[in-house]
């Protein structure tokens, strides 16, 4: 956080409101593998997970390192850095960070009002402490209600991807959607199976009623590149 020379009274006031300026970042990799996330060289104590949320990041420049964790054929744990670089964090934002091993990192951020930052950041799960310079940051794995298991979800993805044409993929998803119970992140993955944004939007609309963590659904807006589709998605959510 920026260091300013000021009177003790002003410094005390800043300490009282500093948490409002801190931001939150959710990190995923394109291959959806378990990862550990390091901010300024520090990470939380949570085990490697597919998605990691880092809370309370002070505004300013920070070093971000994303490490994929796997197991080799000998049963030994492996670590591979898929991204390491600096990020410029704006005050009071929620950042959706996607890491591609070959293309670098893509970050979409959304401003969060100061009085909502803390509640929005902690609503998803239990935090784990990690130090970032002289300021406190926390990491956590997303926690959502009971939903489709990873094994069943993988079968669903395999069924959809086995279909050649996008229109047929959409038909397959519609035919199987009635009994689905999904997490928002699973909806995101299903959206990414489609190339056309019009189909991504239809998937997002189709699966809303089958999602267990609707409080996170607005984050799917980051999956649209065209403003018209973002607006259509926002309009859809506002009607719910």
Give the alpha-carbon dihedral of 204, 208, 212, 214, to 10 degrees: 90
pLDDT at 205: 95
- pLDDT, mean over the chain: 77
Angle between helices 8-21 and 114-122 (to 10 degrees): 50
Residue 1 lies in a domain: no
Instruction: Note down the domain range covering 228.
Output: 150-238
Q: Which residue stretches of the chain have pLDDT < 70?
A: 1-19, 101, 103, 112-145
pLDDT at 1: 32
pLDDT at 182: 92
Q: Both tokens of residue 66? A: 């994303």
Q: Is residue 100 within 8 Å of residue 88, measured between CB atoms?
A: no
Pairing mode of beta strands 23-29, 128-132: unpaired
Considering the domain architecture, whether residues 108 and 214 belong to the same structural domain is answered as no
How many domains is the chain built from? 2
Closest CA to 118 of 217, 19, 3, 187: 19
Among 113, 140, 167, the domain-final residue is 140
**For 232, how many CA atoms within 13 A lie in the half-sphere containing its CB?**
16
């Amino acid at each position: 956080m920026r260091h300013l020379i000021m009177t003790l009274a002003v410094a005390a006031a800043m300490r009282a409101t500093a948490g409002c300026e801190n931001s939150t970042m959710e990190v995923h990799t394109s291959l959806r593998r378990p990862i550990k996330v390091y901010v300024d060289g520090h990470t939380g104590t949570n085990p490697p997970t597919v998605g990691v949320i880092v809370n309370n990041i002070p505004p300013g420049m920070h070093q971000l390192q994303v490490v994929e964790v796997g197991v080799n054929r000998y049963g030994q744990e492996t670590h591979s850095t898929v991204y390491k670089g600096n990020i410029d964090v704006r005050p009071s934002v929620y950042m959706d960070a996607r890491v591609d091993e070959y293309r670098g990192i893509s970050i979409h951020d959304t401003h969060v009002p100061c009085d909502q930052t803390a509640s929005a950041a902690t609503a998803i799960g239990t935090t784990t402490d990690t130090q970032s310079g002289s300021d406190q940051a926390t990491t956590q794995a997303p926690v959502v209600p009971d939903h489709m298991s990873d094994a069943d979800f993988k079968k669903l993805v395999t069924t959809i991807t086995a279909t050649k044409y996008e229109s047929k993929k959409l038909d397959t998803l519609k035919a199987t959607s009635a009994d689905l119970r999904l997490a928002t992140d699973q909806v995101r993955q299903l959206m990414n199976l489609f190339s056309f944004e019009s189909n991504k939007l239809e998937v997002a609309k189709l699966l809303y009623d089958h999602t267990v963590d609707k409080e996170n659904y607005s984050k799917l807006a980051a999956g649209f590149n065209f403003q018209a589709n973002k607006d259509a998605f926002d309009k859809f959510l506002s009607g719910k």
